[in-house]
A and B are shown apart, each in its own frame.
Chain A
Amino acid sequence: MSAAEQVTAWVRDRFGWNNVVTALSVHRVPRRGFIFYLGGITLFLLLIQIASGILLVLYYRPDADTAYASVERIVGELPYGNLIRSFHVWASDLFVVCLLAHLFTIVVRRTFRPPHELTWLSGVVALMLGIGMAFTGAILPWNEAAYTNARVGSQLARYVPLLGTGLQRFMRGGDEVTSATLGHAYGFHVAALPAAITVLVALHLFFLSRKPATVTVLAEPEPEAEPETTDGEVDAEAIAKTAEANAKVEVARAALLRDTIPLYPDFFVRLALPITGVLVLIMTLAVFADRPLGAAADPALASVGTRPPWYLLPVHELVRLAPKELLGIDGARFLVGAASLLGLFAAALPFIDRRGSKITAYVAWSLLLVLIILATLALN
C-alpha cells in the first residue's frame, strides 16, 4: 500500500468512515426537485457566515467610538478586507432568504406533520435565531444604516403585546439606541446566537436523521416464508401469498430505486452543484455589487432613515397602516399581536394540522402574497 493509501485507510478507520458511508447510502431522497437542496444551501450559507465572520471579528472593535473606524480599516486597509466584508453582508441577506424559502417549502409540501414535529420546531427556532443574527449583525458597522436598523427595528418590538416595552429595552440595552445597543448586538451576534444556532442546527439535523422527512430507507424484501405443511402436504396458498407479498415489495423497491437516489454520494454530489452556484453568486455580488459603508452613525442628525431591514418591512408597514384603535386596543399593537399569534400558530403547526391539509398550503401562499404586498408598500 502506498503512503497515501495508508493514510486514507487510517483516517477511514478512526472516523468509522465505512459505517458512515453505509448509513448515508441506505438513506435515499427523491431524485428530482430543487427544493430539496434548500436546506443544504442554507447550511452552506451559515458556514460561509461563520468563516467570514471569524475573519472580520479579528479586526472589529465593538465600541461606539471605534466600531465604524475599525470597519473602515477592514474595508480600506486590510488585504481583501472589503471583499470579505461584502461576502459576509451578501451572504447574510441570502441566508435569510434561503431560511424563509426553506420554511415556506416545508409548509407548502406539508412535511412538517408528525412524526416530524421536533424537526419542524428546531427549524422554526433556528429561523428566529438566524433572523436575530442578521439583525444584530446589521448594527455592528455603526454607520447610518446600522443606526436606522437598530432604532426602527427595536421600535417595532415595542408593539408586541405584553412584552413590547421590555423587549425594546432588551434589544436596545436601555431606552434609547446608544453604545449599549451596540454592545448588546455584538455579544449576541458573536457569542450567544452562533452558539444557540449551532445547537439548533445540530438538533435539526439529528431529528431529520432520526425521522427523515423525505428520506426513505430502502426496504428489504420479506424472507420467503416457510411453506406450512399439514401431514406432509405443501400449503400452496401460503406459498402464493408469500410470493405475492414479496412481489409487491420488489415492485416498491424497484420504484424506490428508480425515483430516489442515495444520500451519499449521489445527493451530496448533486447538492454541491447549487452550492457552487450560490458561491459564484455571492462572489459576483461581493465583487461587482458593492455595499458601501456610508457615513458613520450620528444620533444627533435628524436625517437618519426610517426603514428597518428588508425582512422587517412587512411588520413596519403593518404598524404604519394600523388604525388608531381596534376593538379598544391600540391598532398597531393589535395587528402586531395578531401577527405574533399567527407566528405561534405556525410554530405549533404539526400539533394543529396533524394530517397536513392542503388548506395549510393555500394559507401559506396567501400569507406570502400579503407579505409581498406589505413589503412593496413599505418601499414606496
Chain B
Amino acid sequence: MPSARAVPGDPVGATSASAAGASSAAPQTSATGRALPSPIDATNTCAACHSTLTDAKLRAPAKEFSTSVHRDDRIGCVGCHGGDARDPTAGAHSKTMGFRPHPTSAEVPGICGGCHSDAGFMRRLNGRLGVGQAALYGLSLHGRLNAAGDPMAPNCATCHGKHEILPPASPKAPVNRANVAKLCSGCHADAKLMSKYDIATDQFSKWEKSVHGVAFAKGNPNAPTCTGCHGAHASAPPDASSVAHACGRCHQDEMGFFEQSVHSQGFRKRGIAQCVACHSNHDVAPASPQLVGTTSEAACMKCHSNDEKPRKVADDIATLLRGARDRAAEARAAVARAHDLGLHVPGAAFSLQQVTTAELKVRGVVHTLDPARVEAGVSEINSAVDATLKQVADAEKVRSLERRDYFIALALASLLFVTLALKALELERRRRQVKP
C-alpha cells in the first residue's frame, strides 16, 4: 500500500487511508453508462480509466505507463500530474488536488526534482539512485536555457521519456549508454534547431568515424559516448582549460605526462585546448607516429613549422617512434610466420604482449615531448622485440634440426628397407631352390 510520503497533488496519507475504504466499494458506472474500473484498481484509477478510452491520444499514456519505472502505486500518474487517484470518475481531474494535465517544459524539472532530489523519499524507492540530477541539470546549459524560458531547451522528459520512462540499464531506454549518442544527435544533428544557438551539427557524424565511435560500435565498454566527455545532467562542452580533464578521466597516463611537458603551461597561457589541439575532439583519430614529426600530416607543424628547435625535437621523436613501430611489426610478423609454418613458439603470446605494453607506455611518454624519455621507452620495446625474435629463432632452429634428423633417419630407414628386401629376395631364391 502507498507510503505516508506526500505524493505531489495528494494530501498526506489520503491515498492510503482512502484506498482501504475504496477496496470494499461496489463497482460504479459513470454518467454515460460506461463501465468504470473496479475498486481493486482504485489506487491507480487514472491508468485503469484511460486505458478504456476511445481517443487514442488519451489512451496511449496509460499503455505506455504500464512499462514505466514509475508505475509503482506509490508514485502513479498523480506523482507527476496530481489529481485524485482514488476517484474512478472525471472527478479525479481535481484542480484542488493539484491536477495538471500538461506540465510546461519549465515545470518539468521541478516536478521530477520534487521526488528525485528528496533523499529520504528516494531512499525508500531506490536507494541506489543519486539525488543530485536536478541540481546538476540546473547548472547545465540545457537547464539554464530551460529556466530562461526557451521552449526548445530539453527538460527531463526530453531525454528520459514522459510516460514510458525506462531505467537507464534497460537496452530500450533512450538514456541507455548504447543509445545516448543517437539521443543527443536527435537535437544536435538538427541543423535547423541548432542554427538558433550557432552550434555545429557534425559532432555525431564525426564521433561515429572517430576511434572512440568505432570502438564503441565494436562494443568496447570503455569507449566514450557523448555523456562520457560532456557529462549527463550537467552536460556542458569542456572549455579549453578543462578539456584535458575530460580526456584525462580515461587517458590518465597521457594527461600526467602532458602536464610534465612544455606544452602544458604554454597551452594554458594561450588558451589553447590541450588534447584537442593535436587530437581533435569529436573526430579523434587513432594515435599514430604520423601525428609527431615534420611532415605535413604532423600536428607539430600546425604551430612549429618555422621553429628550428621544436622541429628537431619533433623529428627526433618521430624517428624513434618509426623505428619502434617497425621493430614491433617485425616481431609480430615473425610470430605470424612461425604460426603459419605450424611452429609452436612457447611464450610468444606473452612476449608480444610485452611488446604491446611497451608500445602503449611509449604512447604516453611521447606526451612529455622529451626525446630522452621517449628513447628509454623505445629501448623497452626493442628488448621485448629481441626476446620475441629469439624465441621464434629458437623454434625455427629446432624445426630445422628435426628436419635434418628426419633425412638422416630416412636414409637409415631406406638402407634398412633395402637390406631387408635383399634378404627377403635371398630367402625366396633359396626357397625355390629347395626341392621338396
Please give the residue numbers on chain A whose beta carbons come within 8 Å of chain B beta carbons, in ascending order.
72-73, 75-77, 79-80, 82-83, 250, 253-254, 257, 261, 265-266, 269-270, 272-273, 276-277, 279-280, 283-284, 287, 290, 292-293
Contacts and interface: CB of A to CB of B under 8 A. Distances in A.
Given A273-B424, A283-B409, A76 B347 contact: yes
Contact of B424 (A75, A269, A293): A269
A265 B344 contact: no
Interface string B395-436: 100100011001001100110110011011001100100101
B423 A276 contact: no
A82 B406 contact: no
A292 B342 contact: yes
Given A75-B344, A290-B342, 14 more contacts: A72-B344, A82-B344, A82-B398, A250-B436, A257-B434, A266-B424, A266-B427, A272-B420, A273-B420, A276-B413, A280-B413, A283-B406, A284-B410, A292-B344
A280 B417 CA distance: 10
Contact of B395 (A76, A261, A277, A284): A76
Interface string B121-132: 000000000000
Nearest to B422: A269
A261 B434 CA distance: 12
B286 interface: no
Interface in B357-381: none
A257 B431 CA distance: 8
B346 interface: yes
A192 to B, nearest CB: 30
Contacts, number: 67
Given A72-B344, A276-B416, A276-B417, A283 B427 contact: no
B382 to A, nearest CB: 24
A77 B346 contact: yes
A77 B345 CA distance: 9
Given A77-B346, A257-B436, A273-B424, A287 B402 contact: yes
A270 B424 contact: yes
A82 B402 contact: yes
A287 B345 contact: no
B402 A254 contact: no
Interface residues of B, number: 26
Nearest to B341: A290
Is chain A's interface secondary structure helix, strand, loop, or mixed overall? helix
Nearest to B427: A266
Interface string B97-117: 000000000000000000000
B118 to A, nearest CB: 44
A283 B410 contact: yes
B387 to A, nearest CB: 15
Contacts of A75: 344, 346
A98 B402 CA distance: 27
Contacts of A250: 436
A276 B420 contact: yes
Contacts of B402: 80, 82-83, 287
A253 B436 CA distance: 7
A276 B423 CA distance: 14
Nearest to A273: B420
Nearest to A78: B398
25 contacts: A75-B344, A75-B346, A76-B345, A76-B347, A82-B398, A82-B402, A83-B402, A253-B436, A254-B436, A269-B420, A269-B424, A270-B424, A272-B420, A276-B420, A280-B410, A280-B414, A283-B406, A283-B410, A284-B406, A284-B410, A290-B342, A290-B344, A292-B342, A292-B344, A293-B344
A273 B424 CA distance: 9
B427 A269 contact: yes
Contacts of B347: 76
B409 A72 contact: no
Contacts of B342: 290, 292
A277 B436 contact: no
Contact of A266 (B413, B417, B421, B431): B431
B343, B410, B436, most chain A CB atoms within 10 A: B436
A72 B346 contact: yes
B227 to A, nearest CB: 32
A144 to B, nearest CB: 15
Contacts of B417: 273, 276-277, 280
Contacts of B424: 266, 269-270, 273
A239 B402 CA distance: 72
A280 B416 CA distance: 11
A249 to B, nearest CB: 11
Contact of A73 (B343, B346, B409, B434): B346
A193 B427 CA distance: 39
Contacts of B395: 76
Contact of A269 (B403, B423, B436): B423
Contacts of B343: 290
Contacts of B346: 72-73, 75-77
A202 B436 CA distance: 34
Nearest to B417: A276
Contacts of A257: 431, 434, 436
Contacts of A280: 410, 413-414, 417
A85 to B, nearest CB: 10
Nearest to B426: A269
A273 B425 CA distance: 12
A350 B420 CA distance: 37
A269 B346 CA distance: 43
A250 B436 CA distance: 8
Contact of A287 (B344, B406, B421, B436): B406
Nearest to A80: B402
Contacts of A279: 413
Contacts of B403: 287
